[in-house]
Structure 1
Amino acid sequence: MIQLAFESAFDPFHAVFRILRLTEFSTQAIEIVRLKILDVYVAEPRRCLAIRVPPALKKKAKLAAICQPPIYGSRPRIETLFNRMSPMQDAAIQTLVMQGLLDADAFSNGMAQRTEAPLSTKLSARIASSNESQKNLMTFLLLDLGEIGFNGPNGLKARTGLGEFRYDLV
């Protein structure tokens, strides 16, 4: 028997959707590396529980993790997931830049900034609906974790384990 399985985390088209969700929710430019880390948690919200957050954010991390849809089968470690998602994320971000949906100048500076280019009504409604239904997740990722620095031993890379921080200038 042949079995086909769809894994949204490894689908470049779904990566486009997730990146748009993040950039639509945020009004500020986001570092591309930070965006890629946050995308992992949009793809698998339950992993928010493993982020080393200050005690004040523990409850918000639990609320964010509740947004996880059912998962069937075993999942790779988060580091493996992050590394396997990276090529799809890169393709998605480059496509959005080429389509004019992300700012090319910001991209050349390592940032992702949504442009004023309009999305289709249907896509815009789907993004808004997804962001609203997972508002706890999006708020946790972009607002609460946004207040945490990115570099150093207490930065987002170290707290998630998804980036090298030992050589960061702090």
Structure 2
Amino acid sequence: MYVPAFDPFHTIFRMLYILKRFDGNETIEVDRLRIYDFYLLFPYLANKISLKSDETQLKDSRRKFIPNKFTPYNYISNSRRIFERLRPYQMIALSHLASYGLIDPEMLLQQKVTVTDADKMQQVMSQLDEMPPEDANVLSWLMLSFRNTPLNGVDGLKYRTKLLESKYDGC
């Protein structure tokens, strides 16, 4: 049975779609990309991301655009375990993008991603099909909700998703 989560080439395409949503000169944390990628694979789990009580607009848009259903084929019982199993595939995908000259390899060593050649990235993206609408909705919701949310800290993305340890963050 084919599982896109553990296919490095599928991971490259997912990372490209995510990077396309960021500005060309923006620096993104690797862990943020990995979290977005996880929710592209398992969109129904985005309903478990904790939101503040005053974030009713985000809750409403999540209810509207994120499916709350799963099939027996994509059900996972331990999100953190699967998230960690995805790490090598995600890092291979980012390494390939760096080797193609699309992202900065020096920044990748610092666990950050910056697009080095926006024109080349645009050329690559023009050869790809559009994202399926369901995936585009998930990614749009994640970007709207967490683009400016810090990765670390009490209300950071790591804390809200519970995919990465946040207890010992310095902020």
Whether the TM-score (by the shorter chain) exceeds 0.5 is yes
**Unaligned segments of structure 2, at least 5 residues:** none
Deviation of the 1:70 alpha carbon: 5.8
Distance 1:107 1:73, change over 3 A: closer
Rounded Cα–Cα distance in structure 2 between residues aligned with 1:156 and 1:39: 13
Q: Identify the range of structure 1 (135-144 vs 83-92) with the bigger mean alpha-carbon deviation.
A: 135-144
- How many residues were matched structurally? 165
> How many angstroms apart in 1 are the aligned matches of 2:68 and 2:125?
20
Deviates more, 1:15-24 or 1:131-140: 131-140
1:26 aligned to 2:27?
Answer: no
Deviation at 1:44, TM superposition (A): 1.4
Q: Percent identity?
A: 28
Query: CA separation of 1:120/1:148 partners in 2, compared to 1, >3 Å: closer, same or farther?
Result: closer
For residues 125 and 44 of structure 1, do their structure 2 counterparts lie closer, same or farther at Cα, with a shift above 3 Å needed? farther
Whether 2:149 is the aligned partner of 1:162: answer no
Name which of 35, 38, 53 aligns with 1:37: 35
Relative to structure 1, the CA distance from residue 120 to residue 33 in structure 2 (aligned partners, 3 Å threshold; closer, same or farther) is closer
TM-score when normalising by structure 2: 0.83
The correspondence of residues 11-90 of structure 1 with structure 2, limited to 5 A, is: 11-27=7-23, 28-54=26-52, 55-56=55-56, 57-66=58-67, 72=73, 74-90=75-91
Counterpart for residue 106 of structure 1:
107
Q: Higher mean Cα deviation, 7-16 or 99-108?
A: 99-108
Structure 1 residues 111-150: aligned runs within 5 Å:
111-116=112-117, 118=120, 124-126=126-128, 129-130=130-131, 134-150=135-151
Aligned-residue CA RMSD in angstroms?
2.6
* CA distances 1:121-152 after superposition (whole Å, capped 9, x unpaired): 6753535x107664332222123211222112
- Following TM superposition, by how much is the alpha carbon of 1:106 offset from its aligned partner in structure 2, in angstroms? 2.4
**TM score, norm. by length of structure 1:** 0.83
- State the secondary structure of the residue aligned to 2:128: helix
Q: Is the 8 A contact 1:41 1:47 kept in 2?
A: yes
Asked if structure 2 preserves the Cα contact closer than 8 Å seen for 1:60 and 1:136, the reply is: no
Which letter maps to 1:86? R
Runs of 4+ in 1 over 6 A off after TM superposition: none
How far the C-alpha of 1:33 sits from its partner, in A, is: 1.1
Q: CA deviation at 1:115?
A: 2.7
